[in-house]
Amino acid sequence: MPITTIETQRLYRQIAEQLRSLIDAGEFAIGTRLPAERELAKQLRVSRPSVREALIALEVENVVEVRSGSGIYVLKKKRRPLARKKVNEVVEWGPLQLMRARELVESEVAALAARNATKPDLQVMSDALQQMRDEATRGQIPRAGDEAFHYAIAQACGNEVLRDTVRTYWQSRHGALFERLGDYFEDDVSWDAALIEHAAVLKAIRSRTATAARSAMHQHLKNAHKRYSASWLRAKAS
């Protein structure tokens, strides 16, 4: 028997596969509502964010349907297995775990940027923030400006490893799970709040105060995680 590559699944995928198996075994019948996120986390002995990521993965694969304000329902067996990443593709991390990592890393990146940013760097950040505002004014989701803003800060921090790390985070941010989560929890109100938070980050970096920049970025990303962790009852219909 030939030796094959050992693949370690991410936790949310392990949870998704277990829920899929239970559905296939008839534990959760087609058309019925799954237990609440909190109850699933308790039964599986995992965190609620990991359960949420698993449910989003199953929804992307048409195994379940999220009905805002109602619950998560099992769909008919018209689905395919969870997609596997091909060689050299960027790994799709769990969105909520990714955001926790960003809190830690990008807060320090912002602190470094406050120390090292040049005038041209600050102008790029300002332009990116204005891009976000322009996109929002046109009724567009300002994700392009958002990415440009965070990458401009990483570019200004003076550390190539951190810069490339932030770029990798954003590559994962474009994954199907994160995009689907955004469909539920991003709206005009959340983006208005994000714009104010971005402006606070830029103001702190311009002040050349590393502690203020670190705090502003940490607060922004903490708030963003909270927005994505809101109750499904508050999620808008897709």
Listed by start position, the domains of the chain span 11-74, 95-234
Of the pLDDT bands very low, low, confident and very high (cuts 50, 70, 90), residue 4 is: very low
Per-residue pLDDT tens over the stretch 97-116: 899 999 999 999 999 999 99
Contacts of 72 (CB under 8 A, 6+ apart): 33, 34, 37, 55, 59, 64, 65, 66, 232
Strand-pairing partners, residue 33, are 73
Q: What is the CATH number of domain 11-74?
A: 1.10.10.10
Contacts of 85 (CB under 8 A, 6+ apart): 91, 92
Q: Give the model's pLDDT for residue 186.
A: 87
Strand-pairing partners, residue 64, are 74
Cα–Cα distance measured from residue 185 to residue 195, given in angstroms and rounded to the nearest whole number: 16
The answer to whether 49 and 96 are in contact (CB under 8 A) is yes
Cα–Cα distance measured from residue 76 to residue 169, given in angstroms and rounded to the nearest whole number: 34
Phi then psi dihedrals of residue 94, to 5 deg:
-65, 130
Nearest to 154 by CA among 117, 207, 186: 117
Contacts of 82 (CB under 8 A, 6+ apart): 13, 16, 17, 20, 57, 61
Q: What is the CATH number of domain 95-234?
A: 1.20.120.530
Tell which wins on pLDDT, 23 or 77.
23
Tell which wins on pLDDT, 169 or 77.
169
